Amino acid sequence: MTPPAPLPWPAMLGEERRRRYVEVRTLGREVLAAVAAAGEEARVNRLLVTSLADHGLVPALFPERHGGSRQSEVSAVELCLVREALAAESTEAETAFAMQGLGAYPILQSGGDELVARWIPEVAAGRAVAAFALTEPGSGSDAGALSTAAVRDGDGWRITGTKTWISNAPDADVYSVFARTSGDTGPQGVSAFAVPGDAQGVTGEPLHLLAPHPVGTVRFDGVFVGEDALLGEVDRGFRVAMETLARFRPSVGAFAVGMAQAAFEATQAYVDERHAFGGALRDLQVVAHKLASMAVRLHSARLTVYDAAVAFDRGEDRLAFRSSAAKQHATETAQGIVDDAVQLHGAVALERGHPLEHLYREVRAPRIYEGASDVQLEVIARELAKEARPG
């Protein structure tokens, strides 16, 4: 059965993008979900990465001149559309897709020609797995407080430090690593480097979190990289990180919306099938109103996400406000919708292996990574203060 598009479909996206959404969801349901299910918990599923590439999704992240299939860099709307559609069918496939982009975009945007030629075609083809290595044990939300250091050594750098909660670690083939090159604290003095996963001194281990994705710790013990591994300018690496996150942040909201859509669809079907108190659950006013509330919140979250994506692609103003609002509102809303879906299903949704049990574990993390919800509120508050006090 062809999976549905959301109703109502956002008017800003149009019919062509509705067809694209259905196409990606169908691929996720008929092909990718089974490949994802066969993977090893907490480790990179290379067959899934290859399948995403072979079916054209990963190449669509990158320009043709670098081994991809686009005329230019991926649009924020397309990124959101694919992430939402995949999340509705397979959260594992969605994460594998998104992490190829997040890990590789610092190289694409800021790497030298030889570095880009070495890694981006390999990532686009699914032959190399990329990772975005920013977070450290002592610096999560305060992303600028890095202790990993890179020091000059002849014609290159030696990197020493630990990164943790890194998607695709410790199995990645290349890491976009952010390390301090000068200064003691804050975002100034941070530089970015592309570090091969097989470089001498790179070690790590997987972490087993609430949701079984490939996430781990990676350590750099005096790892040497040449001058050509530098991404952008020395001491300007924090800008590289922020430019990448700015592109991907609204699409984290899309990931959350996709999970909420899956939970809502499951609940729509369940309340018609399940009978209690003399009729279908849907006939109970409290249930019908709960569904109505879920639908309104889901639609609101989706519109917030795509408003941010459209604004990013058009280069409009207030992007920081829109991007943070999209991530904060969508991830918080999705958590509530999945929780409501579990409540309406009852105990059956708590059984290990039930789709909603899976979503219940999955939906929690996006409220934390790539800027926790509280951090997004701080960004929004600062933007409001700028507007109120423009001087």
What amino acid positions are annotated as catalytic residues?
370
CB 368: neighbour CB atoms within 10 A? 15
Question: Hey, what are 183's tokens?
Answer: 């200064």
Question: Hey, what are 43's tokens?
Answer: 């480790």
Separation of alpha carbons 233 and 206, rounded Å: 31
Q: 282: buried, middle or exposed (CB in 10 Å: 19+, 13-18, 0-12)? A: middle
Cis peptide before 250 (omega within 30 of 0): no
Long-range contacts of 30-37 (CB under 8 A, 24+ apart): 31/55, 32/86, 32/89, 32/90, 32/93, 33/89, 33/90, 33/93, 35/93, 36/90, 36/92, 36/93, 36/96, 37/92
DSSP H helical segments within 189-318, as ranges? 237-273, 285-314
Separation of alpha carbons 372 and 11, rounded Å: 29
